[in-house]
Amino acid sequence: MATIFPSWADELRKRYLRGEASLFVVHGNVHDVVLDGDELISVADFLAKRVFEKKDVVIRYNLSTGCRFIKKTAKVDGLDDLLLQRTPDKVLPALERLLFAQNNVAVIIEYAEMAAPAGDASFSSESDRLAVVMLQRWSLAPQMEASDNIVILMTEVPGELHPKIVTNPRVSAVKVPMPSVDERRAVIKKVNPALDPAWVDRLADITAGLKSIQIKAILQPGTPGDDDADARYRFIKTLITDDSRAKKLAAVTQGMTRDEIQELAGVKAPPTASGKDEAHEEILRLIGKRKREVIERECFGLIEFVEPSFDFSVVGGIEEVKKELGGVAKNIREGRTARVPMGMLFTGPMGTGKTFVAEAFVKESGLTGIKLKNFRSKWVGSTESNLERILGVIHGIGNVIVILDEADRSFGGGGDDGEGDGGTGSRVIARLKEFMSDTANRGRVLFILMTNRPDKLDIDIKRAGRLDRKIPFLYPQTPSEVEDIFKAQIRKHALQTTIEFPRDRALVSEKVLGYSNADFEAIALLANDYAAEENADTPISVAHFQQAVADYLPSRDLEMLEYMELLAVFEASNRRMLPEKYARLTVDELQKRLAELKLRCGSRR
């Protein structure tokens, strides 16, 4: 029976048969496992045993183990040099003699970035430079093509490999993607064949973003002794209702299988549907938790998952903004991807609730939310490597909202040509633009960039097709808007109060016009503290609010705040989201006032 190749392996084989190259860079999910018939084997083993099964000699090499012969049906000259050496400066010349002297040879070099790492030649060791030159020569050597030999360089991130190799037109790159939903489904069936088909489908969806080897580790049925007492107790509770008996059984069934426990409990029939559902939900929670841990670890802590507790019901004011975002969330939930923007820009002064609304939007949409942390590094090539790793995970997860706070600091143009950081900034921005404009991600990956200085963002990243919607976040303009925010803060923090709007408008809300949403939250919590000083059960009165308003000192730079507001107005993609005083402004009036403020405070943060 012919082996069915994964798409990446089939692509590699076809490129090689067309004579496109003899040296390939295989990158991406290279440290995963592949389902080969009824067995899960590593990507490197799949290449060696299946893709190159017709080769006479197949060798795997890495710096740790040296050379290992996976297949050797022909005599190999210089065998001692290959088997007794490990360092590239000794092994690569021996491999070159073999490749140039014999036919039908396949060489797989694992962790190729360790043999020929990226970096400036002046800082590279003699061994590194030798490896780069030798691999470069192999890609161009006519002996390689004539002898039907092939070399595979395996690396997770191609940016960690020397650029002279990666950019060589005679070197072909093939990406091993994260497992597709069908591949995940096949792995789950292999790991736990007892699962019913509907449950397999659900697990295949929820494990998006995980490698096959990680799915296996999470779902592999444990040995009889693996259950702890709590897990056994929860399982037994799905079989019997007597809590006392369940605890006793949990204490004496250590080391027993689930079937044995079920028999001991005297339950011949399988658990009830509700018991199964409870067990299934527990497994889903475990998978969700493990998935977050695995992915955060994969990205070296460069991302964090957003787990919002609130939806739009606790967001006060900004009705038009909520209406706009609610429509996007509805299109996402109902699968109308053509109506979902590629990305959105949240812009406005600090304290207007951009982050809070973004997290509430995650809950409204039902997608997974992640935040990007600072992935820039002082080491050459590390920033680009970090970004590639993050984008690979994002693409693998799918159905995800990516939140970038203070985007102007991470992806700002700022008039810098990139020379100050060796061009890293421009390369990062270019890669991000490429990913954000990939229409295959529409409805699967939604970027939300947040900034109070959109003028410092690279201008090309703000165009339609990358950031289709620009959402302005402004300070409340009327007492009623202030009151909506106060009411939302009272709901959010479950505060007990006797304040009533619009009855108490003149005493409270009119006095704080021009304050930010964050200021309103601080005032509400301060009023709560004043009430608690009298008695723990005392509700917050109007007097407490008045005292909090009188005592609270907001940090304010009025010119800068106005400048940030006008920038948000200028960027807004829909006039109906603007308050009346800004909606009436003509473009000429807006630009004139912006120019005045830019002269005064445009260079400040």
Average model confidence (pLDDT) for the chain?
83
How would residue 418 be classed by pLDDT, with cut points 50, 70 and 90?
Answer: very low
What confidence tens digit (pLDDT) does each residue in 160-174 have?
899 889 888 899 999
How would residue 269 be classed by pLDDT, with cut points 50, 70 and 90?
Answer: very low
Q: What stretch of H or E contains 368? A: strand 368-372
Q: What angle do CA 528, 530, 534 make, to 5 degrees?
A: 110
Of 294, 291, 256, 279, which is closest to residue 196 (Cα–Cα)?
279
Packing angle of the helix pair 382-397, 273-298 (nearest 10 deg): 160
Pick the CATH number of 303-472 from 3.30.70.360, 1.25.40.80, 3.40.50.300, 3.40.190.10: 3.40.50.300
> Is a pLDDT exceeding 90 seen at residue 399?
no
Output the pLDDT for position 27: 94
How would residue 274 be classed by pLDDT, with cut points 50, 70 and 90?
Answer: very low
Q: Coil, strand or helix: which one is 77?
A: coil
How many whole angstroms separate alpha carbon 317 and alpha carbon 322? 9
Output the pLDDT for position 267: 58
Those residues with Cβ within 8 angstroms of residue 360's Cβ, 6 or more apart along the chain or in another chain: 308, 310, 311, 312, 314, 315
Those residues with Cβ within 8 angstroms of residue 585's Cβ, 6 or more apart along the chain or in another chain: 569
Largest CA distance in the chain: 96
Q: What are phi and psi of 540, to 5 degrees?
A: -75, 125
What confidence tens digit (pLDDT) does each residue in 213-231 have?
988 887 775 544 445 667 7
> What pairs with residue 444 in β-bridges?
none
**46-57 average pLDDT score:** 93
For the chain, the 3-state helix, strand and coil shares in percent, each to the nearest 5, are 55, 15, 35
What confidence tens digit (pLDDT) does each residue in 176-211 have?
998 988 999 999 999 888 778 888 888 888 888 888
pTM: 0.67
Q: Do domains 7-176 and 303-472 have the same CATH topology?
A: yes
**324-331 average pLDDT score:** 89
Percent with pLDDT over 70 in the chain: 87
How would residue 423 be classed by pLDDT, with cut points 50, 70 and 90?
Answer: low
Percent with pLDDT over 90 in the chain: 24
Q: What stretch of H or E contains 171? A: strand 171-176
Output the pLDDT for position 270: 46
For the beta carbon of residue 541, count every other beta carbon within 10 angstroms.
17
Beta strand 303-306 with 57-62 is unpaired
Output the pLDDT for position 283: 63
Q: What are phi and psi of 279, to 5 degrees?
A: -65, -40
How many whole angstroms separate alpha carbon 216 and alpha carbon 218? 5
> Is a pLDDT exceeding 80 seen at residue 93?
yes
Domains of the chain: which residue ranges? 7-176, 211-295, 303-472, 476-605
Q: Coil, strand or helix: which one is 151?
A: strand
The arrangement of strands across the sheet holding 445-451 comes to 303-306, 368-372, 400-404, 445-451, 343-347, 469-472
Contact 153, 22 (CB under 8 A): no
What confidence tens digit (pLDDT) does each residue in 429-485 have?
888 888 988 888 888 889 999 998 888 888 888 888 889 899 998 888 888 888 888
Output the pLDDT for position 602: 67
> Is a pLDDT exceeding 60 seen at residue 372?
yes
For the beta carbon of residue 261, count every other beta carbon within 10 angstroms.
20
> Is a pLDDT exceeding 80 seen at residue 308?
yes
CATH architecture, domain 7-176:
3-Layer(aba) Sandwich (3.40)
Task: Read off the DSSP letter of residue 180.
Answer: P
What confidence tens digit (pLDDT) does each residue in 558-582 have?
788 888 888 888 888 887 888 877 8
